[in-house]
Amino acid sequence: MRAVQRVVPAPAELGLQLIGVPEGADLTLDLRLESVSEGVLVSGTVSGEVTGECARCLADIGESLTVNIQELFAYADSATDETTDEDEVGRLQDDMIDLEPTLRDAVVLALPVNPLCREDCPGLCSECGARWDDLPEDHSHEQIDPRWAKLGKLTGSSGPDEPAEPAP
Ligand SMILES: [Zn+2]
Ligand SMILES: [Zn+2]
């Protein structure tokens, strides 16, 4: 068994559309390589900083991520090599391990598809597009937009002289 601790630069496009590890950012590998009969079992953690954008309010997100990985890299011509597909189990290539696919799968799986700056992020005002977090509590577009008055007439929810309620 061998322990490997190494800091490597992140490969390109490690992540999802809204969140990921920037290319070249430090990825810390803390791994155990174990020799097993069929090959080398790699297990341990990969950690790094992820950056992204809140899916609701577009604020920048920066957080650290640690994921566990475990993968068998089979020897060429081992029984495992012969009985599994190439994308099921890793392969040792000339005694080298290509960790990138494993690492990529683990990191991408751990990332949220809809990242949020905080769980109850209120998002953006649908009228002016400002972040609710940046707006005063009484922020509202009531009585400002004449279109609402028209809408009020159409729905009959308010009289012509009363200010219409904006839709939630
Ligand atoms: Zn947000
Ligand atoms: Zn607004």
Residue extents of the structural domains in the chain: 2-110, 124-161
Residue 65 CA, ligand 1 centroid: distance in Å: 19
What is the CA(131)–ligand 1 centre distance, in A? Answer: 8
pLDDT grade for 97, boundaries at 50, 70 and 90: confident
Do strands 96-97 and 60-74 pair parallel, antiparallel, or not at all (unpaired)? unpaired
> What's at 69, amino acid-wise?
I
CA atoms within 13 A on the CB side of 134: 10
Query: What percent of the chain is predicted at pLDDT more than 70?
Result: 85
Encode pLDDT of 103-151 as tens digits: 999 999 999 999 999 999 999 999 999 999 999 989 988 765 566 666 6
Residue 129 CA to ligand 2 center (angstroms) comes to 6
* Nearest by Cα to 21 from 96, 106, 98, 90: 106
Q: How far is the CA of 54 from the centre of ligand 1 (A)?
A: 5
The pLDDT tens digits for 139-165 are 988 765 566 666 666 665 554 555 556
Per-residue pLDDT tens for 27-58? 999 999 999 999 999 999 999 999 999 999 99
Question: For residue 158, how far is its CA from the centre of ligand 2 (angstroms)?
Answer: 22
